[in-house]
Structure 1
Amino acid sequence: MTTADPARKPSNWNVPNVLTALRLVMVPLFAWLLLAYPADPAMRWWANAVFILAILTDAADGRIARKYNLVTNFGKLWDPIADKALTGMAFIGLSILAELPWWITILILVREWGITVLRWAIIKYGVMAANRGGKLKTVVQSVALAMFIPGLQFMPMWWVVIAWILMIAAFVLTILTGLDYLREASRLRNSYLAEHPKEES
């Protein structure tokens, strides 16, 4: 595989974007495995395997896109949407099963989808890509969810304690990075309007 010409705009039809689309397709499969037989430890581990595989495609698509200059606006927008669809389904599923308080799920989803809507709302001013804080948040969320999905009721106490520590850390990071994205959106808008003063209302 050769590195793409940096001066050439990459096509949306590339490996990273295909991985992003695949992750979206895996969401309903994961949901069924998690919710169909919640009292079956084997099914819970299958659900976790699909979840982890989907998360790994997220790590792979970003690395490939950057290494081979395949970063596209499609990827910048749909990659975080695919992530939020997957993790959102995990949070909702765990709350449906009464294994995670609804208030945690609701606050996290309001932040996650609120920032996603904000990305679309400010697309005129620029693409707001994931920053380091957002990526760390995604990693901590993913690890916490991967520890919850097999079912804490089936796990030893040390597992339960670590899972809850990670979930609390994920919750705090989710809120703090949400505030960072709000500041970034404001900066993008102000920079754009400074360059295009006639468009300011």
Structure 2
Amino acid sequence: MVDDAPSAWNPANVVTVLRIAVVPVFAVVLLADGGHTVTGRLLATGLFVLAAASDRLDGWLARRSGQVTDIGKILDPIADKLLIGSALVLLSWLGDLSWAVTAVVLVRELGITVMRFFLLRYVVLPASRGGKLKTVLQAVAISLYLLPLAHLPPAVAVLAALAMALAVVVTLLTGLDYVRDALRIRRAAGLPPSAGR
């Protein structure tokens, strides 16, 4: 264990920032030529998968080098939400995914993000294992929806729908877990449930 706090600009956090930077590039590629060309969809899928996979890389780098930072704990879930949220909104914009699904996921994600910021005065609430599983399931489902499904066997579209349904269920369940943790932290701090609102 080192005495000095790790630098905020360590390799893990740089990877996280790069994941955020990929989001607008992904959006431009996905929307190019109307958003439904085979080449465009495959390129967008590749970018999305690469960015989503970097979530594992930055966590591994932080733990391996002993450079887990509070800013990293905050930026990592924000980067995930920007990537996932952008993909969901664009897919709904293109008519490939129900706006209801996008709304449910975004409301949950926004709510948990706001809750995290309220809790910053007491503790940095990192992504839980359930939260990480939720992110993986969302990434898998979105990756399938990003594919040019009209040019693939119908079974792929069915698989995409099932994956998204599972992702939504886990998204809601983990959201409830975070709320429970927030209430526990508030009680431990001796605050009423409405404090900080």
Q: Does 1:69 align with 2:66?
A: yes
Deviations 1:5-46 (A, max 9, x none): 444311101001000110111000000111122121011110
Aligned residues: 192
1:16 to 12, 15, 20: 12
In structure 1, give the amino acid aligned to 2:177: D
Task: Give the whole-Å Cα distance in 2 for the aligned partners of 1:171 and 1:188.
Answer: 26
Deviations 1:100-158 (A, max 9, x none): 00011011000011101111111112111111111110011001111111232222112
Task: Give the whole-Å Cα distance in 2 for the aligned partners of 1:190 and 1:63.
Answer: 33
Task: Give the whole-Å Cα distance in 1 for the aligned partners of 2:130 and 2:73.
Answer: 16
Which structure 2 segments of 5+ residues have no match? none
1:31 to 13, 19, 27: 27
Deviations 1:70-112 (A, max 9, x none): 1101000011000000010000010001100001101100001
Q: Does 1:40 align with 2:34?
A: no
2:132 to 132, 135, 138: 135
Task: Give the whole-Å Cα distance in 1 for the aligned partners of 2:88 and 2:152.
Answer: 19
Q: Find the counterpart in structure 1 of residue 122 from structure 2.
A: 125
Q: Give the share of equivalent positions with the same residue, in percent.
A: 45
1:192 positional shift:
2.6
Q: Identify which range, 184-193 or 100-109, moves more after superposition.
A: 184-193
Which SS does the other structure have where 1:49 is aligned? Answer: helix
Q: TM-score, normalised by structure 1?
A: 0.91
Q: Does 1:172 align with 2:182?
A: no
Task: Give the whole-Å Cα distance in 2 for the aligned partners of 1:6 and 1:182.
Answer: 34
Task: Give the whole-Å Cα distance in 1 for the aligned partners of 2:152 and 2:2.
Answer: 49
Which structure 1 segments of 5+ residues have no match? none
Tell me how large the CA RMSD over aligned residues is.
1.6
1:176 positional shift:
0.6
Q: Is the CA contact (8 Å cut-off) linking 2:45 and 2:146 kept in structure 1? A: yes
Which SS does the other structure have where 1:8 is aligned? Answer: coil
Task: Give the whole-Å Cα distance in 2 for the aligned partners of 1:154 and 1:192.
Answer: 55
1:182 to 169, 179, 182: 179
In structure 2, give the amino acid aligned to 1:155: L
Task: Give the whole-Å Cα distance in 1 for the aligned partners of 2:117 and 2:31.
Answer: 31
Task: Give the whole-Å Cα distance in 2 for the aligned partners of 1:63 and 1:43.
Answer: 31
Which SS does the other structure have where 2:66 is aligned? Answer: coil
